[in-house]
Structure 1
């Protein structure tokens, strides 16, 4: 079976073609970073318009890359939520319309399920059950995964997601958009133990997280270090970035260890944009080695939003005959644990 995947939940247009026997046949991705850079963040209306311009040309490129056409497809998968409603509507309407025109089933995919299953695109895949840490610009959650569609949310951020906190703190430091990866790069130049940031909600039971306070702590630290001209040195910025990143990663690691021990599981999956963070990967690798467990994560190219993860997740739903209804819907809010099990 072969499926086309369309991702358009935010500021990346991702297209992929996946075959259940041959694997990933095509992968096309367009980032809107330049579109939103001048505004310091994603402008929803501009994002929607850019998806309109880019989706069909990328689909055509994917067919060329895979050396196939619509007649070779068994279904079309698209991101139905969560995300920016306008952006979702573009992908949903195109995906639903193409499926109708090509007379194949349409499959509505949950964006976070796509991230959660992204490590399955590699040959070495985790067995069920496992604990998943999903960390991106819009979501931070810890999930117990017993199978596809069998998700129990153990904890999530009660305010800013980890990626959102990275981006906001980067902006406070005067870094360009998108700031998260730039802050992580700056943190490599920082001196350890110069600043000590709190590890929020780690001194109490439970697996929920909070990162907005860290952003505020960073803002206060930045203001306290400004000179009479309102400036701070690059080394001070690096030191603050290092302290901030360490606090966020430590918090995530503490929560993951707690979840793994509580459920007696030794397999951990990390996915989402923040899962590309090198310090997070290195730290969790050490932790899982110490626990005699294993950590799995997607290839770097599949950490951020992409069509490949939507195509893979869509294939699983297609095989289970869980098709989208004829009326096209987008769900800007869509709890992960509401999905139907396979």
Structure 2
């Protein structure tokens, strides 16, 4: 079985073909991040226009490059939500139009389920049940994953997501977009304990997160300090440490609450080296296992959509050619497999 996956939830245009026997046949991502340096963040209207411009060309060129016949595709999976409405509509519309022309079905996929299950593409796969830590630019969530489609939301960010705060603080430090990776690079030159930043909600028993207060606190510190390289690096170092400590502590509490021994970490922020090191240490102490995606699959991509699309198509085999998008689609609303 071969599934074409299309991902256009935000600013990355991702396409991939996943074969149930051969695995990933190709994975292509067109990133728009260079377009937003002057804005300091994503502009939704510009993002959707760029998807419209590049998506069909990306599909055509990729099939030619890898010598694949479109008629070998059994179904097309696309991201239906959550995400930016305009961007989602571009991917959904093209997926349905192409599927109609090929007389094959489409599968609408939840973006967060795509991220959550991406580590299952690796040689060492997690087994249910597990705690899922989803950390990206738009979401920070702790999920009780009992099975495919059987998800319980244990906690989430009540304001800004972790990745979003990384980008915003990076901008305050004068770094280019996307800020998260650039802030981490700057932090490598920093020294700890030159600043004392708050750790919002870390002492509360619930599993929710809040990062906007931390962002405001750091913003005020930046305004007062000398803007030399070392000071900026020290701020980045301490800020990254605080974010990581909150994520690790809340993950630990979720594992303790359900007495689980497996943690799955997904989303763009999961590529962070400091976060991985701290989570690895925590899980070693607990004698548990932690799973990640390979770095190139941590951010938005078409592979995760194609893979989840294949799982769901095998189960439901529905022939649906409606254009469906759900900008606020919760992972807890999914059907189990």
> How many residues in Structure 1 have an aligned counterpart in Structure 2?
337
Q: Does 1:174 align with 2:174?
A: yes
The aligned residue for residue 250 of structure 1 is: 245
The aligned residue for residue 207 of structure 2 is: 207
Matches within 5 A, 1:1-342: 1-226=1-226, 232-321=227-316, 323=318, 325-342=320-337
Does the 8 Å contact 1:79/1:88 carry over to 2?
Answer: yes
Structure 2 unaligned blocks of 5 or more = none
Q: How big is the shift at 1:329?
A: 1.8
Q: Give CA-to-partner distance per residue, 1:25-72, whole Å, 9 cap, x none.
A: 111110001222221111111111111111112112332344321211
Structure 1 unaligned blocks of 5 or more = 227-231
Q: Give CA-to-partner distance per residue, 1:195-224, whole Å, 9 cap, x none.
A: 121111011111000000110110111122
SS in 2 for 1:39: coil
Q: Structure 2: how far apart are the matches of 1:243 and 1:125?
A: 33
Does the 8 Å contact 1:17/1:66 carry over to 2?
Answer: no
Q: Give CA-to-partner distance per residue, 1:139-194, whole Å, 9 cap, x none.
A: 00000111110101100000000000000011111111111111111111111111
Segments of 4+ moved more than 6 angstroms: none
Q: Structure 1: how far apart are the matches of 2:277 and 2:57?
A: 38
Q: Give CA-to-partner distance per residue, 1:293-324, whole Å, 9 cap, x none.
A: 11100010000000011111111111112547
Q: Structure 2: how far apart are the matches of 1:265 and 1:69?
A: 44
TM-score normalised by L of structure 1 = 0.96
Does the 8 Å contact 2:105/2:321 carry over to 1?
Answer: no
SS in 2 for 1:203: coil
Does the 8 Å contact 2:202/2:249 carry over to 1?
Answer: yes
Q: Structure 1: how far apart are the matches of 2:242 and 2:308?
A: 33
Does the 8 Å contact 1:143/1:155 carry over to 2?
Answer: yes
Q: How big is the shift at 1:86?
A: 0.4
Q: How big is the shift at 1:335?
A: 1.0
Q: Structure 1: how far apart are the matches of 2:264 and 2:132?
A: 5
SS in 1 for 2:316: coil
Q: Give CA-to-partner distance per residue, 1:205-257, whole Å, 9 cap, x none.
A: 1100000011011011112214xxxxx11111111111111000000000000
Q: Structure 2: how far apart are the matches of 1:5 and 1:300?
A: 19
Q: Structure 1: how far apart are the matches of 2:302 and 2:321?
A: 22
TM-score normalised by L of structure 2 = 0.98
Q: How big is the shift at 1:259?
A: 0.3
Does the 8 Å contact 1:25/1:65 carry over to 2?
Answer: no
- 1:301–1:205 Cα change, 3 Å: same
SS in 2 for 1:240: helix
Q: Structure 1: how far apart are the matches of 2:206 and 2:319?
A: 36
Q: Structure 1: how far apart are the matches of 2:67 and 2:75?
A: 17
Q: Structure 2: how far apart are the matches of 1:323 and 1:197?
A: 51
The aligned residue for residue 229 of structure 1 is: none
